[in-house]
Amino acid sequence: MTNLHALPISLGLIALAGVTAPARTDRFVQDRFAIGFWVDPPMDARADFRYRRIAEANFTLVLGGFGARTSAQIRRQIELCEKYGLKALVSSHGDPADLPDSPACWGYRLKDEPNAAVFKALRERADAIRAQRPGKLVFVNLYPNYANKRQLGVDTYEEHVGLFCKTYDPAVLCMDHYPGFHPGRGDGRAAYCANLAVLRKFALQRGIPFWNFFNIMPYGGHTDPTEGQVRWQIFTSLAYGAKGVLYFCYYTPRGREFPKGGAIIGRDDRPTRHYDQARRINAELKAMGPTLMRLTSTDVRHVAPGTEPEKTLAGTPIRRLERARHDPEFDLLIGCFRHADGRRAVLLANYRFAYTAWPTVEFDAAPGDVVEVDKKTGREVPVIDSSPDMPGFQISLDAGDGRLFLLPATTASPGPAGKAAP
């Protein structure tokens, strides 16, 4: 665990879990956006306080296995998740008939980063659990695309994920990938996007959601992410259609890779600066979550420096992008979606994690017909021009941040750019 962009896919092939119910009634169906983490806190006398603090940071999901290991600890973990409105994925060890079956228990953690050689055995174990606990998730997390052939057990990463889907038949796809942000040591963002593209491809083909782990702490050769870098990882995942994001890590683990500490909660039980960062970002994800769960990804485009925006965005709901003369070249990620009610959606994300973006955007719909999903309330609100004194319609984006817009199902007839209704 410590250890370019997708092409459009026909909507006729898509029936995303959590958006439309799958035909099989014994399958896990995701009912909310997953905001979780690796390394649950100790299950001790302070457990109630610890879990209240998790809920106050706006998480929705607890992955057990570190702080809660014994049967008694797992029972207490589920009780606390029930109390604070959280879901849990707990250990899958033991007789499937003895696994907990609470409404707060989404399912069971089976394996982290398996080699392809064990996919068949994992399927056998998962089928035994599914038979006893229909509707529960039997969770497996996959390697990232920078794993080597020995780790993967096959020649290529795409072959690894495809074989896992065929052999294991997952209800949720998930992987962990921690891009490098170290100055002078290369830029790991393109590989992160390529990894998301592979999960997006197979998730859409199979009509299931995908999640991914991302980094929020210093470890090994990784720098300690800034809030802009954390937001970049999350909103990039959302642009590719992720239905869950998982932090690495919540409670600081022990080990030679973690001498600095620095996860969301330190080993001394004190919150680091990442706690307030996660709390702020998670509040936005919870607000946007109901809408995100109703979206199906249709396309992803990267308007990179040196490219022509109109050519890159051809066929998307964005007709034109412009910028002020003194602003840097565009570096934007555009996620396109179909809403369950037939409307279209666009997630506009700032691909730069150290600078703001301020594009002038012309959608293919009349300004008054475009609404934004408010990141504080989750409600659909009229879009407000960020720069009403400038011609056209401006959207401001903080470093690594993103904003979600909803448009009518059909394209409006061409017309001049205008201002949004107040």
Say whether pLDDT at 13 is over 60: no
353 Rama sector, left if φ>0, alpha if ψ -120 to 50, beta otherwise: alpha
Last residue of a domain, one of 275, 292, 309: 292
Distances in whole angstroms, Cα of residue 137 to Cα of each of 29, 118, 412, 413: 8, 19, 42, 45
| pLDDT tens-digit series, residues 75-129 | 999 999 999 999 999 999 999 999 999 999 999 999 999 999 999 999 999 999 9
**What average pLDDT does the segment 48-61 reach?**
98
Please indicate, yes or no, whether residues 266 and 172 belong to a single structural domain of this protein.
Answer: yes
**What average pLDDT does the segment 246-265 reach?**
93
Token digits for 68?
């809660």
Output the pTM of the full model. 0.92
Which CATH number belongs to the domain containing residue 269 in this structure? 3.20.20.80
User: What is the C-alpha to C-alpha distance for residues 398 and 173, in angstroms, rounded to an integer?
Assistant: 29
User: What is the C-alpha to C-alpha distance for residues 90 and 92, in angstroms, rounded to an integer?
Assistant: 6
Which CATH number belongs to the domain containing residue 320 in this structure? 2.60.40.1180
Q: Is the peptide bond before 336 cis (omega within 30 degrees of 0)?
A: no
Say whether pLDDT at 225 is over 60: yes
Say whether pLDDT at 19 is over 70: no
| Domain assignment of residue 384, given as a range | 296-407
Last residue of a domain, one of 263, 292, 321: 292
Any domain includes 237: yes
* Residue 420: DSSP 8-state: P
Please indicate, yes or no, whether residues 276 and 302 belong to a single structural domain of this protein.
Answer: no
Any domain includes 6: no
Say whether pLDDT at 184 is over 70: yes
How many CB atoms within 10 Å of residue 161? 25
Any domain includes 326: yes
Any domain includes 412: no
Please indicate, yes or no, whether residues 283 and 302 belong to a single structural domain of this protein.
Answer: no
For the chain, what is the mean pLDDT? 91
Token digits for 78?
């589920």
Please indicate, yes or no, whether residues 307 and 217 belong to a single structural domain of this protein.
Answer: no
User: How many domains are contained in the chain?
Assistant: 2
Please indicate, yes or no, whether residues 96 and 152 belong to a single structural domain of this protein.
Answer: yes
Please indicate, yes or no, whether residues 270 and 341 belong to a single structural domain of this protein.
Answer: no
| pLDDT tens-digit series, residues 328-387 | 899 999 999 999 999 999 999 999 999 999 999 999 999 899 999 999 999 999 998 888
Please indicate, yes or no, whether residues 32 and 102 belong to a single structural domain of this protein.
Answer: yes
Q: What's the pLDDT at 412?
A: 58
Identify the weakest region by mean pLDDT among 1-5, 55-59, 368-372.
1-5
**What average pLDDT does the segment 272-276 reach?**
98
Any domain includes 177: yes
Distances in whole angstroms, Cα of residue 243 to Cα of each of 41, 210, 234, 240, 294: 24, 6, 11, 10, 10
Please indicate, yes or no, whether residues 214 and 361 belong to a single structural domain of this protein.
Answer: no
